């Protein structure tokens, strides 16, 4: 009996040790992924502190079932995802979550999810080290349903000192994201930006508003960067559906404000096919609010039927 007890004691001890070894601590998680978070901050302008805090909270330091099996560290659900998926109980039973081949893919997708989704555009107007506004903004935009989500993120950031990854020192200035170890100067950066901008064929609408046509691989973020715009500006210049997360090849994207003025001479259009007011705004290069006001329409998503007579100005 004593032998059996000792044996089971050894088994339990080994199991306990194995369990401890398999559990990732917060400090280990930060040590592993902080450099990637900082690198993506330079590329996407999402604060590293926010990215790390979200990952720590959403993945339980990388220990959750979704993180281990699905390499999903940010709890991002499917929402039009075309890759592998897994189903877990969350706010509701059997909800669909994205699955990645590697954790780094989860980090990249998190950055692209925020930069390409119009709901989060206002976040990029905050300073890169203003983690409190980012935390509150994420909740406001609907990233999480937990009413204490901002406080949880802020607590993680402040307890672990994650804000040091956003600034040179606590309360210091922003990272100089243009500074490069390879000696590239600011002038070189500007020339590089010209090359990026030149890959787009800028066209001018007959109403005098400049635009580009989206190609494969284009995102709201990449276009805003190419033309020196804030994401919020790009969204203001265009009329996109509320749930439009990604650009499609052939989408018209205006890079300056559409027409707003109500000119003395009226102009009308008889629709040759049915379309939403949002689509009409894009095709006619006229501000959406202006079209709504002129035609006394309250809902931007209203369908305008073929044969409708629309006031354009």
pTM summary value: 0.54
- 134 and 81 fall within a common domain: yes
Q: Is residue 90 part of a domain?
A: yes
Residue 67: phi and psi, rounded to 5, are -70, -40
Whether residues 81 and 206 share a domain: the answer is: no
Does a structural domain hold residue 297?
yes
- In a domain, residue 178? The reply is no
pLDDT at residue 46, as a whole number? 93
Asked if residue 279 and residue 240 are part of one domain, the reply reads: no
Q: Which long-range contacts (CB under 8 A, 24 or more apart) does 74-81 make?
A: 74/106, 74/107, 74/109, 74/110, 74/113, 75/144, 76/106, 76/109, 76/110, 76/113, 79/245, 80/245, 80/246
pLDDT at site 242? 65
Q: Are residues 30 and 63 in the same domain?
A: yes
Same domain? For 91 and 128 the reply is: yes
Residues 120 and 83 both lie in one domain = yes
Which residues contact residue 303 at a Cβ distance below 8 angstroms, ignoring those fewer than 6 apart? 274, 275, 276
- Are 41 and 153 part of one and the same domain? yes
279 lies in some domain:
yes
Residues 199 and 295 in one domain: no
Residue 176 lies in a domain: no
- The predicted pLDDT at position 22 comes to 56
Pick from 238, 178, 175, 236: nearest CA to 205: 238
Q: What is the CATH number of the domain that holds 57?
A: 1.10.530.10
| 260 found inside a domain | no
- Which residues form the domain of 191? 186-254
pLDDT digit string (tens) for the chain, length 313 residues: 343 333 334 333 333 333 334 588 998 999 999 999 999 998 888 999 999 999 999 999 999 999 999 999 999 999 888 899 999 987 788 899 999 999 999 999 999 999 888 889 899 888 888 999 999 999 999 999 899 999 999 999 999 999 989 863 333 333 333 333 344 333 344 443 444 445 688 888 877 888 899 988 888 888 888 888 888 888 888 887 666 778 888 889 998 888 765 444 567 788 888 888 888 888 888 888 888 888 888 887 778 888 888 888 6
Euclidean distance between the first and the last CA atom of the chain, given in angstroms as a whole number? 94
Instruction: Determine, yes or no, domain membership for 2.
Output: no
Number of domains making up the chain: 3
- 79 and 151 together in one domain: yes
Q: Are both 199 and 129 inside the same structural domain?
A: no
Question: What's the pLDDT at 180?
Answer: 37
On whether residue 206 sits in a domain, the answer given is: yes
Residue 296 burial (10 A CB sphere; 0-12, 13-18, 19+): exposed
């Amino acid at each position: 009996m004593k032998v059996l007890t000792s044996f089971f004691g050894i088994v339990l001890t080994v199991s306990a040790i194995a369990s401890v070894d398999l559990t990732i601590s917060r400090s280990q998680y930060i040590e592993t992924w902080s450099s990637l978070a900082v690198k993506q901050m330079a590329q996407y302008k999402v604060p590293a502190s926010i990215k790390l805090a979200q990952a720590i909270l959403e993945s339980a330091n990388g220990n959750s079932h979704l993180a281990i099996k699905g390499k999903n560290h940010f709890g991002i659900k499917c929402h039009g995802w075309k890759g592998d998926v897994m189903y877990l109980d969350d706010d509701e039973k059997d909800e669909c979550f994205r699955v990645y081949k590697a954790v780094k893919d989860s980090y990249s997708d998190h950055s692209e999810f925020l930069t390409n989704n119009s709901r989060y555009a206002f976040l990029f107007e905050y300073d890169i080290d203003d983690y409190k506004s980012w935390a509150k903004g994420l909740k406001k935009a609907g990233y999480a349903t937990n009413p204490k989500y901002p406080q949880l993120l802020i607590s993680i950031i402040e307890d672990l000192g994650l804000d040091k990854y956003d600034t040179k020192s606590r309360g210091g200035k922003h990272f100089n994201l243009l500074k490069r170890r390879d000696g590239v100067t600011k002038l070189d950066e500007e020339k590089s930006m010209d090359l990026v901008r030149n890959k787009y064929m800028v066209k001018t609408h007959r109403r005098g508003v400049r635009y580009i046509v989206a190609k494969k691989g284009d995102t709201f973020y990449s276009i805003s960067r190419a033309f020196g715009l804030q994401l919020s500006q790009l969204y203001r210049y265009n009329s996109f559906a509320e749930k439009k997360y990604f650009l499609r090849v052939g989408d018209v994207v205006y890079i300056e404000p559409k027409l707003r003025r109500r000119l003395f001479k009226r102009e009308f259009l008889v629709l040759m096919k049915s379309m939403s007011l949002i689509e009409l705004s894009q095709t006619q290069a006229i501000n959406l609010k202006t079209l709504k006001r002129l035609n006394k329409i309250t809902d931007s998503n209203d369908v305008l039927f073929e044969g409708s007579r629309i006031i354009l100005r």
